[in-house]
Chains A and B, each alone.
Chain A
Amino acid sequence: MKKLIMTLGLALLIAGCNATTPSKPMSLKEQYEAKLAATQAAVEKAASVEGEWRDIRWKKSKKKYLPSAIKAAEAGDYEKALKLLDIAEFQAKMGYQQAMAEKNAGPHLYGM
Chain B
Amino acid sequence: MKKIVTLLLSAGLVATATQAFSSPQEDLQKFRTYFEQKFPGMKLDDFGNGSYALDESKRIQWESMEEFPPYDEFVDKGREIWEKPFKNGKSFASCFGSDPSKVRVKYPHWDSKTQQVVTLEGDINKCLKENGEKPFGWKKGPIAWLSAFFGYEARGQKINVKIPNDPKALEAYEHGRHFFYAKRGQLNMACADCHVKYPGHFIRGNLLSTALGQTTHFPVYRAKWAKKSKDGDGMGTLHRRYGGCNKQVRARPFKAQSKVYRDLEFFHQYMSNGLTINAPGYRE
A79 beta carbon closer than 8 Å to chain B: no
What is the size, in residues, of chain B's interface with A at 8 Å between Cβ atoms? 34
Contact indicator per residue, chain B 173-201, by CB within 8 Å of chain A (1) or not (0) = 00001110111111010101000110000
Interface-lining segment among B81-89, B137-145, B222-230, B246-254: B246-254
What secondary structure prevails in chain A residues at the interface with B?
loop
Residues of B near A61 (CB, < 8 A) are 252
CB distance from B164 to the nearest CB of A (A): 21
Is the Cβ of B251 less than 8 Å from the Cβ of A53? yes
Is the Cβ of A108 less than 8 Å from the Cβ of B18? yes
Q: With A53-B251, A54-B247 known to touch, is A112 a contact of B15 (CB < 8 Å)?
A: no
A39 beta carbon closer than 8 Å to chain B: no
CB distance from A88 to the nearest CB of B (A): 12
**Which size bracket describes the interface of A in this complex?**
20 to 34
Is the Cβ of A106 less than 8 Å from the Cβ of B186? no
Among B12, B182, B254, find the residue whose CB has the most chain A CB atoms closer than 10 A: B182
Is the Cβ of A91 less than 8 Å from the Cβ of B184? no
Is the Cβ of B251 less than 8 Å from the Cβ of A107? no
Is the Cβ of A110 less than 8 Å from the Cβ of B181? yes
Closest to B193 in A: A110
Contact indicator per residue, chain B 45-63, by CB within 8 Å of chain A (1) or not (0) = 0000000000000000000
Closest to B183 in A: A102
Contact indicator per residue, chain A 74-112, by CB within 8 Å of chain B (1) or not (0) = 000000000000000001001100110110111111111
Between-chain CB contacts (< 8 Å), 12 pairs:
A53-B252, A54-B185, A54-B251, A55-B186, A91-B186, A94-B186, A104-B13, A104-B15, A108-B18, A110-B34, A110-B192, A112-B30
What is the interface of chain A, defined by CB distance below 8 A to chain B? 47, 50-58, 61, 91, 94-95, 98-99, 101-102, 104-112
